[in-house]
A and B are shown apart, each in its own frame.
Chain A
């Protein structure tokens, strides 16, 4: 395909105030080599649908605003290339979230779910203003989890939330956040053992979240499996600890 030849895209549109059901509309967009899906959406908004709702901000994959489903897979639209061999490009809002309008969704449930777990770093306040001594081997895993950009792609991809509609499951993004705090070498309040309340066992480790992460965070290995192991070891050690503490008495 050459530049300026037309490519057809489909966008799922819905204004919940007015439409009961989402509608799919087709638009013809001039193709340019290297163009992103977001370029096509901007073209449609500027030329055909002035009030087409979509989010974007940085254009370099770091703000995490522009996540949407392209041909049924959640991606960052600023990174996703429109290739000439794509037969139909179908752009839809992320499936698991309520639609505000068109491609804009309400992700507030994700933040609400994690609040009761106190997603904060807690460490005894240092008496003097001295800096900590830490080594990169200790901080490496926490640092990689903390590169999460809150794009919510993992949350949308997770089949527990998507296909089974298990609303109790806290979701991969939130586990990443909590374990990112836990793995900080100076953190003193561990969140992992609490995650049973977040229905962590409903995750059956299909690794869809890890595969979808635009930041390449090893969500499954570094956070979910880690948390499950922490829960199990707490359970195993608790009776033993109790036993020993009684012995001492």
Chain B
């Protein structure tokens, strides 16, 4: 494609990612008078936010009147093992209430208490009941609300099925981005004063993940190559049991209550392996021990047959049909709908599943502004608020609180600046990268590479890590990076082309995860090192930061920003309050 037929679209603010964070930012920026383009990889409303089931945290105190923002903040920091940015946590907890009010005024529905207030449920790790929800489709309801608000604002244009592949930068600031319209197969340039990254996490770099197909860390790739910093990349939250078969269902959460109700774990040989790990508590052992046991069985070749490396069996059939249908109706339906397995008669095949990435692009606590002028990051792609582990129900609060802030900040910045000149050299180089794989006669198939990356990440950089495994993974990854890929067929709506672009992002994201995981020689939160099983507060109250310079990826450590005195006190007090 020559430069002449390259379409250029101009807007004040470009938002990459059309999930909850992106849409909330768009609304805020539009209300500040800016024109906005929201570009999503899939169609509007098909994002990961709709998959959120649990709920959204805010210390409304509707059920437990003692609750307040300070306890919410303290819970968040404790769960995050003191790796969180305290200022971000404070903002999250303080503004959560207002975010819920705002949602309600836009017509978002929540389950109610008998008095007609918003219902709040208990969630693991919370001192009080504070998770607002509607059934098990809270994310869907919130997205419906946000989409309606976006559609009524004329300043916002949404673009479906557009993959942003490169941010264009001048020496001082962002100038725009190059996107690929999947439907036409054409690239175009979006010229913008500010860019907000709201691309979501990167759970799909792992073989088994609860995340949808598209979440592979685009934002990390875009930000890193634009010169921004990545932080806490080693922190990936896993869940011990997710579905494994068929392929489309892989990763869907299998609730821990299956074990709670008497489900037993068997390896591929039919042995009840928990006896080798925790003979007393067996399947009811802690989440860590169960995860580790399942992972070890699979890694040592005693897994089941499906999905390349296999999983283990989770069996509750001995409890009888009536019991199972009464106690676990949702699981009965889930396995029937997505795997045609009758869990009252058959065993479930499960494996640990990647769920959430706490790390990502490093931004300013108040605004999400990155080290690149005009570039903002928000939501799962932004690092800092969740620290080393995320408290359940905090992610929906996160995307809305910081989405609104980033939208306002980007609008304020865009108002006082002008469009930068487009860097033509960068555009030409990126177009070559985009269309090159069609011209190759030979090369690896992108989906084969994707599988290889997912397998090695799951095996070596997943739920448990060792120096040896991570080093091996880094080596394998470097070898995969050397492989050239080819794409066949037409340019119009070519999924293989999309996979090619995904694989490029994955290679970077995985490199960042492995490098950070190697560096952190302790176990904290979601990061578990078999060779360094203890938490080491003396050396590791540090965030690991990655950035790009002439020699490639560089790494530095920074002490966690100091907590305000008041918050530090609450963090220590809170556990007592719980009793």
Residues of A at the B interface (CB closer than 8 Å) are: 15, 17-18, 32-36, 38-39, 42, 45-46, 49-65, 78-79, 81, 100-102, 104, 107, 111, 115, 118-121, 123, 125-126, 129, 131-136, 139, 142-143, 146-150, 181, 184, 186-187
Contact = CB atoms under 8 A, between A and B. Distances in A.
A51 to B, nearest CB: 3
B42 A143 contact: no
B105 A149 contact: no
Nearest to B60: A131
Interface of B: 42-43, 45-48, 50-51, 60, 98, 100-101, 104-107, 109, 111-112, 115-118, 134-135, 137, 140-141, 144-145, 148-149, 151-152, 183, 212-214, 245-252, 334, 337-341, 445, 447, 487-490, 492-497
25 contacts: A39-B246, A46-B445, A46-B447, A50-B488, A50-B495, A51-B494, A52-B495, A55-B43, A56-B248, A59-B248, A60-B334, A61-B337, A64-B46, A65-B43, A65-B46, A79-B338, A100-B493, A101-B492, A120-B148, A123-B105, A134-B116, A143-B134, A143-B135, A147-B140, A184-B109
Nearest to A60: B252
Contact of B117 (A42, A50, A118, A131): A131
A143 B137 CA distance: 10
B116 A133 contact: yes
Nearest to A33: B340
Contacts of A102: 493
A10 B118 CA distance: 50
A63 B249 contact: no
B495 A53 contact: yes
A39 B46 contact: no
Nearest to B487: A50
Given A58-B212, A123-B105, A147-B137, 12 more contacts: A33-B340, A34-B339, A51-B489, A56-B213, A57-B46, A58-B50, A58-B213, A59-B213, A131-B101, A147-B140, A149-B50, A181-B107
Nearest to A42: B247
Contacts of B112: 134-136, 139
B109 A101 contact: no
Contacts of B489: 49-51
- From A65, A126, A142, name the one whose CB has the most chain B CB atoms within 10 angstroms: A65
B94 to A, nearest CB: 14
B493 A39 contact: no
B107 A35 contact: no
A50 B445 contact: yes
A124 to B, nearest CB: 10
Contacts of A59: 212-213, 248-252, 338
Contacts of A50: 445, 487-489, 494-496
Most buried by A among B60, B246, B487: B246
B266 to A, nearest CB: 18
What DSSP secondary structure best describes chain B's contact surface?
loop
A125 B141 CA distance: 20
B296 to A, nearest CB: 26
A187 B107 CA distance: 8
Nearest to B101: A129
Given A60-B249, A61-B337, A119 B51 contact: no
Contacts of B492: 15, 17, 51, 53, 100-101
Nearest to A81: B340
Contacts of A53: 492-495
A93 to B, nearest CB: 12
A65 B249 CA distance: 15
B214 A57 contact: yes
A79 B337 contact: yes
Nearest to B305: A3
Contacts of B51: 58, 60, 62-63
B104 A131 contact: yes
A63 B42 contact: yes
A215 B248 CA distance: 19
Contacts of B145: 121
Contacts of A39: 246-248
A133 B246 contact: no
Please indicate which of the listed interface residues B60, B183, B337 has the most CB atoms of chain A within 10 Å of its own CB.
Answer: B337
A78 B250 CA distance: 11
A200 B497 CA distance: 42
A136 B338 contact: no
B249 A36 contact: yes
A56 B204 CA distance: 14
A123 B213 CA distance: 37
B493 A101 contact: yes
Contacts of B47: 63
A132 B245 CA distance: 44
Given A63-B51, A115-B151, A147-B137, A51 B490 contact: yes
A139 B101 CA distance: 17
Given A36-B338, A42-B248, A79-B338, A184 B212 contact: no
Given A58-B51, A59-B212, A135 B116 contact: yes
A213 B79 CA distance: 40
Contacts of A120: 148-149, 151-152
Q: For B183, B246, B248, which residue has the most chain A Cβ atoms within 10 angstroms?
A: B248
Contacts of B249: 36, 59-60, 78
Contacts of A17: 490, 492
B183 A100 contact: yes
A57 B111 CA distance: 28
A34 B340 contact: yes
A54 B493 CA distance: 8
Contacts of B497: 51
A51 B495 contact: yes
A119 B148 contact: yes
Contacts of A148: 144
B500 to A, nearest CB: 10
Contacts of B151: 111, 115, 119-120
Contacts of B214: 57
Contact of B148 (A33, A101, A121): A121
B246 A36 contact: yes
Contacts of A18: 490
Most chain A CB within 10 A, of B51, B135, B149, is at B51
A81 to B, nearest CB: 5
Nearest to A79: B337
B131 to A, nearest CB: 16
A121 B149 CA distance: 9
Nearest to A121: B107
Closest 9 CB pairs between A and B?
A: A51-B489, A121-B107, A53-B493, A133-B116, A50-B496, A51-B494, A57-B212, A59-B248, A63-B46
B546 to A, nearest CB: 28
A148 B50 CA distance: 11
Contacts of A184: 107, 109
A143 B142 CA distance: 12
A111 B507 CA distance: 37
Nearest to B158: A111
Contacts of B245: 32, 34
A123 B107 contact: yes
A153 to B, nearest CB: 14
